[in-house]
A and B are shown apart, each in its own frame.
Chain A
Amino acid sequence: MASNIRLIARLDIKGPNLIKGIHLEGLRVLGDPNEFARKYYEDGVDEILYMDTVASLYGRNNLSEIVKKTVKDVYVPITVGGGIRSIEDVKYLLRSGAEKVAINTAATKNPELIKEVSRKFGSQCMVLSIEAKQTDNGWEVYCENGRQKTGLDVLEWVKVGEDYEAGEILITSVDYEGTKRGFDFELIEKVSQSVSIPVIASGGMGNLNHLNRVVNESKADAVAIANVIHYNQLSIYDIREYCKSNSVNVRDYEKS
């Protein structure tokens, strides 16, 4: 039997608010992230992913206060990303209650950081976050929330990440993010084939077929879900029930 995939609620944060955009831009305020996180926990979400969308611009992650509040009610793993540049930044977020950190920009500038975080806190804590944009002959790694080119090829970069001991890959398609057109299935499949660490597919989920396809065809190990749950189009609970009846293995969860 295949292992259970994970349903991850992705919450993009700007200042104190949950926001949502398209292609990681054009932001719209949705409300208090803690309230959303709590609801997703009660609905049986497997993990929470908080991304500070403006942190890279200001050079620091501002999510520690939000995380500190969330962990009082939410007893599933929380990953925090955005603007993390150093071991000190990681330590601070872990002390606030984060379980893992997702690092993008700083890792592209200094891949050694991946290894340092992994050696110091364990590879399970080090999620390599990648923002990918399609090019004529593949995908390029972007940073600064899809604004900045890096010149790195995604399929080469994931292997470097694995060599530097990242524990997981979070791959976000900038082209599909926020569009609800579906994941970049080909991208996710190629990434899954390239590494033997878990891959989290992010960006573009608009319906349940998308989820089925990204797991069964693209072989994602986890799925980051944003728009469809934030706008109440689907609940985490519904998504799990759908998975169970469509040969996507997920954990059992009963509402209290």
Chain B
Amino acid sequence: MKKVSIIDYGLCNLYNVSNALEHVGATVDIIDNPNSIKESTHLILPGVGAFKNGMRGLSLRKLIDPIKEHINLQKPFLGICLGMQMMLSKSYEFGEIEGLGVIEGEVKKIPSFSPNGKKHKIPHIGWNRIICKENKILDKSKNYPSMYFVHSYKAECVKKDNVIAYTTYNDLKIPAIISSNNAYGCQFHPEKSGRDGLDILKKFINL
């Protein structure tokens, strides 16, 4: 029996994520304690806002270890936006802060200028094409679908294998989906990316 749960750690609006998951056929629970994580088959960690507040929210509710355990057991996990960034080892948003560390890498601010001097508007807001490798949550045959991004920080993964899709903002390459086993992280918002975004959620809940 599937149990799809969204983690509520106090700082974000969960309505859109749960609404989109229900739209693609899931029954969704919103959870905020370690026991409920253990009972879940599919975990979703959404999030907007600052990395530090996000990690503090998880820590206060004693959710960090249960989340790591869920991922270690190779149960499906999906981090969205800040939720994706928190999967990495650490972030440099308002000081150096430790993340969940399930994927080796760091979160850094999008630079204001590219090497050739072009100005990057920050936050990066908008629809960008993503280019992906073979994977289980996005159909590679779909011709570079566009997804809705909104972020000021980006992931930098140590291992190339962990980046299964990337996008380019101006001439800057940004990891769009990162993954390790059954843990996935989307920098963009699948719940706000129209049909192609909903497809990802559908594939995820069917993992």
Chain A positions 1-23 with a Cβ under 8 Å from a chain B Cβ: 1-6
Are B125 and A124 in contact (CB-based, < 8 A)?
yes
Are B127 and A97 in contact (CB-based, < 8 A)?
no
- Selecting from B1-9, B59-67, B115-123, the interface stretch reads B115-123
Are B191 and A198 in contact (CB-based, < 8 A)?
no
In angstroms, Cα B196 to Cα A44, docked, is 12
Are A168 and B19 in contact (CB-based, < 8 A)?
no
Q: Scoring A residues 46 to 74 as 1 if CB is less than 8 Å from chain B, else 0, what string do you get?
A: 10000000000000000000000001100
In angstroms, Cα B127 to Cα A250, docked, is 8
Are A251 and B15 in contact (CB-based, < 8 A)?
no
Which size bracket describes the interface of B in this complex? 35 or more
In angstroms, Cα B192 to Cα A41, docked, is 11
Majority SS at the chain B contact face: mixed
Q: Given A1, A3, A94, which contacts B13 in the complex, CB threshold below 8 Å?
A: A94
Query: Which among A97, A123, A168 has the greatest number of chain B C-beta atoms within 10 A?
Result: A123
Are A124 and B121 in contact (CB-based, < 8 A)?
no
Q: Given A5, A221, A251, which contacts B146 in the complex, CB threshold below 8 Å?
A: A251
A234 located at the interface, meaning its Cβ lies under 8 Å from any Cβ of chain B in the complex: no
Q: A-B pairs with CB below 8 Å: how many?
A: 108
**Are A251 and B128 CB-contacts (below 8 A) given A75-B191, A167-B123, A256-B195?**
yes
**Are A251 and B49 CB-contacts (below 8 A) given A1-B171, A76-B148, A99-B16?**
no
Are A3 and B169 in contact (CB-based, < 8 A)?
yes
Are B170 and A3 in contact (CB-based, < 8 A)?
yes
Inter-chain contacts of B152 with A (CB < 8 A)? 123-124
Are B192 and A1 in contact (CB-based, < 8 A)?
no
B23 located at the interface, meaning its Cβ lies under 8 Å from any Cβ of chain A in the complex: yes
Are A197 and B16 in contact (CB-based, < 8 A)?
no
In angstroms, Cα B152 to Cα A77, docked, is 17
Inter-chain contacts of B191 with A (CB < 8 A)? 75
Q: How far is the CB of A161 from chain B (nearest CB, A)?
A: 14
Q: Given B124, B127, B168, B192, which contacts A99 in the complex, CB threshold below 8 Å?
A: B192
Are A75 and B48 in contact (CB-based, < 8 A)?
no
Inter-chain contacts of A77 with B (CB < 8 A)? 148, 150, 189, 192
Q: Given A96, A119, A124, which contacts B150 in the complex, CB threshold below 8 Å?
A: A124
Inter-chain contacts of B15 with A (CB < 8 A)? 71, 94-97
Are A71 and B126 in contact (CB-based, < 8 A)?
no
Closest to B48 in A: A122
A242 located at the interface, meaning its Cβ lies under 8 Å from any Cβ of chain B in the complex: no
Inter-chain contacts of B192 with A (CB < 8 A)? 75-77, 99
Are A6 and B193 in contact (CB-based, < 8 A)?
no
B194 located at the interface, meaning its Cβ lies under 8 Å from any Cβ of chain A in the complex: yes
Q: Scoring A residues 159 to 184 as 1 if CB is less than 8 Å from chain B, else 0, what string do you get?
A: 00000000110000000000000000
Chain B positions 32-52 with a Cβ under 8 Å from a chain A Cβ: 48-50
Q: Scoring B residues 113 to 147 as 1 if CB is less than 8 Å from chain A, else 0, what string do you get?
A: 00000010111111111000000000000011010
Q: Given A75, A97, A120, which contacts B193 in the complex, CB threshold below 8 Å?
A: A75
Inter-chain contacts of A198 with B (CB < 8 A)? 121, 123, 125-126
**Are A221 and B19 CB-contacts (below 8 A) given A3-B169, A46-B126, A76-B148?**
no
List 4 additional contacts besides A71-B16, A75-B195, A222-B126; criterion CB under 8 Å.
A76-B148, A97-B19, A221-B125, A251-B128
Q: Which B residues fall within an 8 A CB radius of A?
A: 12-13, 15-16, 19-20, 23, 48-50, 112, 119, 121-129, 143-144, 146, 148, 150-152, 168-171, 189, 191-195, 197-198
Q: List 28 A-B contacts (CB under 8 A).
A: A1-B170, A3-B124, A4-B126, A6-B125, A44-B194, A46-B148, A72-B23, A75-B23, A75-B191, A76-B193, A77-B189, A95-B15, A97-B15, A99-B16, A120-B49, A124-B150, A125-B48, A168-B123, A196-B122, A198-B121, A198-B125, A221-B121, A222-B126, A251-B126, A251-B129, A251-B146, A252-B143, A252-B144
Closest 8 CB pairs of A and B: A251-B146, A251-B127, A122-B48, A94-B13, A122-B49, A124-B150, A77-B192, A198-B121
